[in-house]
């Protein structure tokens, strides 16, 4: 149960991480929660199954190589998808552990978390898009995003 609490905490504590770190953390949360759910007897819904591990790594590496603006958008997409998947997995785990029947609602919970993650990165994506546009006129421009407090 402590591991589950730690996973839930990891899903929530990402407000001050940059887009790259949030994408990596979301991938880790998805893999860890998938493993926990499978260990408890859940079935893998993704037909690609374990093939997703190298694909996650490849997607993160690909996004890191994109120019600013595109990079942060890709990392936000990655973070949103996998954080939503992890939330779905945690919901399934809770359903299994409690003997509940709310597992069908877990997809809705996963979508809600994914949507929240996407919305929470809107300001940063806009900042990097503006920066990328400004760099077309001022190539030497250095941009640094600071999370609002």
Report d(CA 75, CA 18) in Å as an integer: 9
Range 61-67 contact pairs with CB under 8 angstroms and sequence separation of 24 or more:
63/20, 63/23, 64/20, 67/132
Does the CA dihedral 25-30-34-37 come out positive or negative?
positive
pLDDT band at 76 (very low <50, low <70, confident <90, very high): very high
Q: Where are the domains of the chain?
A: 2-137
Tokens of 22: 């949030």
Q: Which of 49, 58, 93, 92 is nearest to 78 (CA)?
A: 58
Q: What are residue 13's phi and psi, to 5 degrees?
A: -90, 85
Residue range 118-131: mean pLDDT, rounded? 91
Percent of the chain clearing pLDDT 70 (strictly above): 89
Please count the CA atoms within 13 angstroms of the CA of 72 that sit on its side-chain side. 21
pLDDT band at 70 (very low <50, low <70, confident <90, very high): very high
Report d(CA 83, CA 27) in Å as an integer: 7
**Can you give the pLDDT at residue 60?**
94
Residue range 61-77: mean pLDDT, rounded? 93
Q: Reply yes or no on whether the pLDDT at 77 is more than 70.
A: yes
pLDDT band at 16 (very low <50, low <70, confident <90, very high): low
Identify which has the larger pLDDT, 8 or 111.
111
pLDDT band at 114 (very low <50, low <70, confident <90, very high): very high
Q: Where is average pLDDT lowest: 9-13, 42-46, 65-69, 79-83? A: 9-13
């Amino acid at each position: 149960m402590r591991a589950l609490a730690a996973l839930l905490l990891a899903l929530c504590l990402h407000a001050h991480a940059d887009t790259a770190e949030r994408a990596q953390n979301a991938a880790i949360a998805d893999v860890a929660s998938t493993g926990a759910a499978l260990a408890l007897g859940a079935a893998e819904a993704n037909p690609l199954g374990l093939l997703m591990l190298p694909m996650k790594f490849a997607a993160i590496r690909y996004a890191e190589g994109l120019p600013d603006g595109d990079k942060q958008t890709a990392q936000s997409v990655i973070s949103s998808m996998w954080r939503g998947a992890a939330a779905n997995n945690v919901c399934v785990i809770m359903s299994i552990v409690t003997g509940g029947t709310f597992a069908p609602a877990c997809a809705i919970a996963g979508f809600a978390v994914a949507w929240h993650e996407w919305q929470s990165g809107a300001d940063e994506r806009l900042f990097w898009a503006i920066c990328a546009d400004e760099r077309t006129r001022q190539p030497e421009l250095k941009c640094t995003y600071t999370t609002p407090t």
